Amino acid sequence: MSSLTHQPVLLAETLELLAPAPGDVVLDLTAGRGGHAAAVAQIVRGDAATPGHVVLFDLDAGNLAAAATRVRETGCAVTAVHDNFARVDRHLREQGRRADIVLADLGFASTQMDDPERGFSFQHDGPLDMRYDRGDTTTRGLASASAARLLATLTEAELADIVREYGEEPLARKIARKLVQARADGPIESTVRLAQLVVEAYGGRARASRVHPATRTFMALRIAVNEELSALRLLLDGIARAAERVDDGGWLRPGARVGIISFHSLEDRLVKRAFADIRARGLGTVLTRQPVTATAQEVQVNPRSRSAKLRAVRISGPGSPGTEAVRDDT
C-alpha cells in the first residue's frame, strides 16, 4: 500500500447502516486520510436548498488536512477540528451544530504505520514516538508523552500491566523485566531496539510465535501513549449524554446514527456496553445484533480489516417511540 493511501474498512457496510442522506450533518471523528468522509460527503453534500456538512476530527494534523481536502473536492462544506474526539461536545456546542451521523474508525491510519518517523512500526527503524498528535498535546490531546518517555519513566509493574492488558501479551512480565534491565544501560529510543529487546525476552519461544514477538508490545504501547481507551470512554459518555438531550439542544439530532469501528476486544466491549446501555435506557435502538465484520474478500485486499468490528446505534431520545430492543448475543 502506498504511503499516501489508507483504504477505508467496512465502507459499504458503514454506508448501509448509517444511511447518509442529502443535507445531513456528518461527524467523522477519526478523519484519517478521508476515505470514509469523502464517500459520505458525496451523498450528503446535497444542493443549495439542502446543503450537507462534514465535520472532521483528527489528532494528526497532516491526516486532518488531507481528509479536509478530499471532502472539499466533493463539493461538500467541511469544518476541520484538530483535537481529540473526547472533546466533541465542546466543539459542536461552539459551532452550534447538531449531527445526523457520527462515525469513529478507531486507532491508527496505515499512513502513520508506514512512516518511520512516527515510530509505530518495527518494520522500519525510527524514533519511538507513537503519538497521533505530535503538536502541543498538553493542550489538545489527552496524551502528551512519547513511547520512549513511557519506557523511560514507568515502573516495571506499570509496564507489565500495560503490555499484558492492552497487548494481551502472555510474556508481559518477562518483557517488562527485560526493558527495565536494558534501560539501566541507556534509554530505549528506537523501534528496532525495542523489537530486539522483546525478541530477547522471548528467547527460544520467539521461533514458535505466529506473529513477530514485538507485535503485541507495540500495540500496547500505542494504546497507552495515546490513552486510547480513556478517549473512547469519554466519547461514549458524551454520546449517552447527547442522547438524553436530543429534544433539548444536545449535539445529536433525533434519529442520529452513530457507528464505531474498533480493532481491539477491549474497545469493542466498551462500545457494546455503551450501546446496550443506550437501548436499556430507552434512548435508542441498537442496529447491529452482532458486530459487522469484513468479508473474506475485503480481508484479502486489506488485511487490517481482519479485526475490524462495526457496531451502530440509532438515537431516538428519552420517551421516543421506536426504541425496541435488539438483543446482542455476542
Ligand X SMILES: C[S@@+](CC[C@H](N)C(=O)[O-])C[C@H]1O[C@@H](n2cnc3c(N)ncnc32)[C@H](O)[C@@H]1O
Binding site for ligand X (CB under 6 A): 6, 8, 30, 32-36, 57-60, 63, 84-86, 105, 107-109, 132, 231
Looking at beta carbons only, is 57 or 218 nearer to ligand X? 57
Residue 8 gets which letter from DSSP? Answer: P
Cα angle vertex 60, ends 40, 125, to 5°? 125
In whole angstroms, give the CA distance from residue 91 to residue 247. 19
User: In sequence order, what are the residues at sequence separation of 6 or more whose Cβ sits closer than 8 angstroms to the Cβ of residue 236?
Assistant: 270, 271, 274
Residues of the chain by 3-state class (helix, strand, coil), percent to 5 = 45, 15, 40
Closest CA to 230 of 87, 105, 93: 87
Looking at beta carbons only, is 8 or 20 nearer to ligand X? 8
Closest residue to ligand X using C-beta atoms: 32
- 252-262 and 99-105 strand pairing: parallel
CB 4 to ligand X: min, Å = 11
CB 77 to ligand X: min, Å = 19
Looking at beta carbons only, is 144 or 209 nearer to ligand X? 144
Q: What is the largest CA-CA distance in the chain?
A: 67
Looking at beta carbons only, is 71 or 194 nearer to ligand X? 71
Burial zone of 326 (CB within 10 Å; 0-12 exposed, 13-18 middle, 19+ buried): middle
In whole angstroms, give the CA distance from residue 145 to residue 189. 13
CB 158 to ligand X: min, Å = 22
Looking at beta carbons only, is 127 or 254 nearer to ligand X? 127
CB 274 to ligand X: min, Å = 15
Looking at beta carbons only, is 33 or 264 nearer to ligand X? 33
CB 42 to ligand X: min, Å = 13
CB 281 to ligand X: min, Å = 25
